[in-house]
């Protein structure tokens, strides 16, 4: 098959990307398009780009909805290999026979079509041509893949002239094909700036709302560069350990924890971001392993199936994510039960876990409003409903949760 690869930040994925994909397929030059949201982008990291799992799942959902039945797929390859995601690295990784065959089969491409030797094209707008030779190892890219260039009427790039120029620069004839495109033109940077999401697919618009992406004031401004970098890097790492729903939940908890720290104690911002992000990191590990880690952290304090992921999470935060700060480790350990003498960081993570924007288990409007002005009152409301739930089910409340309730005067 001829396979077009469309890499990008997709921050957010928009209708311009969709018309690019549609144009590439209609050109007949490629039989399929694989969309590849960036992982460790060499030019954008930390606060310059939304954490990769958000962009990956946003793009995947939109493609699945809008290109149903057509050969358009989304690959997580840049979230799975370590190191910087250069275009060359990604093309090399994706074109490995074992990867691409398994990927195509998993996406419904049957038998010999998936098995054959494939030809790859990197899809780009014509604006990349005048400086393409400056790309990281540009000549190597062109030796293993072609370029599939979208040309817009009046875009000011003389494609044929550029192709000849690149032949001279590289000393060989690169495989460059062109298709015309006249669909929607949009820019992610403008969409982020204007907060006007009408040029994004319906799925993306909903996704942005659900996870409160691109808010008026970016909460990441509250955290240090190092913490924001770590948040982005750990988000990619967490992708290995958590499924979609829980991963997005735990990232949301990180950001909401950061917001609460910004309100109640700015010195806790970095710790809140990271503790929130990692609070559920162990929840999808093998249960026996969780139990073993829980015992390692807290002895016999937590043996219940629902509670072990919290102390296990602290152990995992140490091992996998290099966390040594005891306050962060405690906030993770006690995020499910609470404890007597909760620190402010404990309270922040506990509350953010209950109230992050994608939570829909109850109408949380009042709690969310209260959380911005009186953290103890908001906690009281949340813990009261936890208490009710336990009582109605006739379940025992953990003794340290009772200590927590006593502290709150419940």
Q: Which residues bind Fe ion (CB under 5 A)?
A: 280, 353
Q: How far is the CB of 396 from Fe ion (least distance, A)?
A: 19
Q: How far is the CB of 399 from Fe ion (least distance, A)?
A: 19
Residue 179, phi then psi, degrees to nearest 5: -130, 150
Q: Is the Cβ of residue 120 or residue 334 nearer to Fe ion in the bound state? A: 334
Q: How far is the CB of 83 from Fe ion (least distance, A)?
A: 30
Residue 201 CA from chain centroid, whole number: 18
| SS3 assignment, position 123 | strand
Q: Is the Cβ of residue 100 or residue 253 nearer to Fe ion in the bound state? A: 253
Neighbour tally for 325: CB within 10 Å: 15
53-79 burial code (b ≥16 CB/10 A, e <16) = bbbbbbbbbbbeebbeeebbbbbbbbb
The answer to whether residues 58 and 66 touch, using CB atoms and an 8 Å cutoff, is: no
Please provide the distance, in angstroms rounded to a whole number, between the alpha carbons at the two ends of the chain.
65
Q: Is the Cβ of residue 22 or residue 280 nearer to Fe ion in the bound state? A: 280
Q: How far is the CB of 279 from Fe ion (least distance, A)?
A: 6
Using only the alpha carbons of the chain, give its radius of gyration: 24
Q: How far is the CB of 306 from Fe ion (least distance, A)?
A: 9
Neighbour tally for 149: CB within 10 Å: 25
| Spatial CB neighbours of 194, under 8 Å, sequence gap ≥ 6 | none
DSSP 221-244: GGS-HHHHHHHHHHHHHHTTT--H
Minimal CA–CA distance to 135: which of 170, 179, 110, 175? Answer: 170
Q: How far is the CB of 258 from Fe ion (least distance, A)?
A: 15
Q: Is the Cβ of residue 330 or residue 353 nearer to Fe ion in the bound state? A: 353
Q: Is the Cβ of residue 6 or residue 272 nearer to Fe ion in the bound state? A: 272
Q: Is the Cβ of residue 166 or residue 312 nearer to Fe ion in the bound state? A: 312
Q: Is the Cβ of residue 178 or residue 253 nearer to Fe ion in the bound state? A: 253
Q: How far is the CB of 244 from Fe ion (least distance, A)?
A: 14
């Amino acid at each position: 098959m001829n396979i077009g690869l469309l890499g990008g930040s997709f921050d957010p994925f928009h209708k311009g990307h969709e018309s690019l994909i549609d144009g590439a397929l209609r050109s007949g030059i490629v039989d399929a398009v694989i969309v590849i949201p960036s992982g460790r982008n060499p030019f954008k990291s930390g606060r310059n780009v939304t954490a990769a799992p958000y962009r990956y799942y946003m793009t995947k959902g939109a493609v699945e909805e809008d290109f149903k039945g057509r050969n358009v797929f989304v690959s997580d390859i840049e979230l799975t290999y370590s190191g910087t995601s250069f275009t060359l690295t990604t093309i090399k990784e994706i074109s490995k026979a074992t990867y691409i065959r398994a990927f195509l089969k998993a996406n419904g491409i049957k038998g010999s079509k998936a098995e054959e030797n494939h030809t790859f094209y990197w899809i780009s707008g014509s604006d990349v041509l005048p400086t393409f030779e400056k790309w990281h190892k540009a000549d190597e890219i062109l030796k293993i893949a072609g370029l599939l260039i979208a040309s817009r009427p009046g875009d000011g790039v003389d494609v044929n002239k550029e192709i000849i120029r690149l032949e001279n620069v590289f000393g060989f004839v690169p495989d460059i094909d062109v298709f015309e495109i006249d669909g929607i033109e949009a820019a992610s940077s403008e969409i982020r700036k204007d907060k006007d999401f009408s040029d994004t697919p319906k799925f993306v618009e909903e996704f942005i709302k659900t996870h409160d992406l691109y808010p008026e004031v970016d909460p990441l401004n509250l955290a240090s560069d190092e913490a924001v970098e770590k948040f982005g890097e750990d988000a990619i790492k967490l992708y290995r350990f958590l499924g979609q729903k829980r991963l997005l939940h735990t990232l949301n908890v990180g950001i909401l924890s950061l917001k609460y720290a910004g309100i109640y104690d700015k010195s806790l911002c970095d710790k809140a971001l990271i503790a929130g992000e990692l609070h559920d990191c162990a929840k999808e590990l093998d249960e026996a392993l969780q139990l073993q880690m829980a015992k390692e952290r807290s002895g016999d304090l937590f043996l219940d199936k629902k509670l072990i992921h919290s102390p296990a999470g602290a152990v995992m935060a140490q091992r996998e994510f290099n966390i040594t700060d005891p306050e962060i480790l405690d906030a993770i350990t006690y995020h499910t039960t609470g404890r007597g003498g909760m620190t402010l960081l404990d309270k922040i993570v506990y509350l953010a876990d209950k109230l992050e924007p994608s939570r829909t288990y109850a109408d949380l409007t009042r709690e969310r409003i209260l959380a911005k002005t009186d953290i103890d009152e908001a906690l009281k409301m949340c813990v009261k409903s936890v208490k009710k739930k336990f009582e109605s089910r006739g379940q025992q409340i953990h003794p340290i949760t009772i200590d927590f309730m006593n502290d709150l005067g419940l």
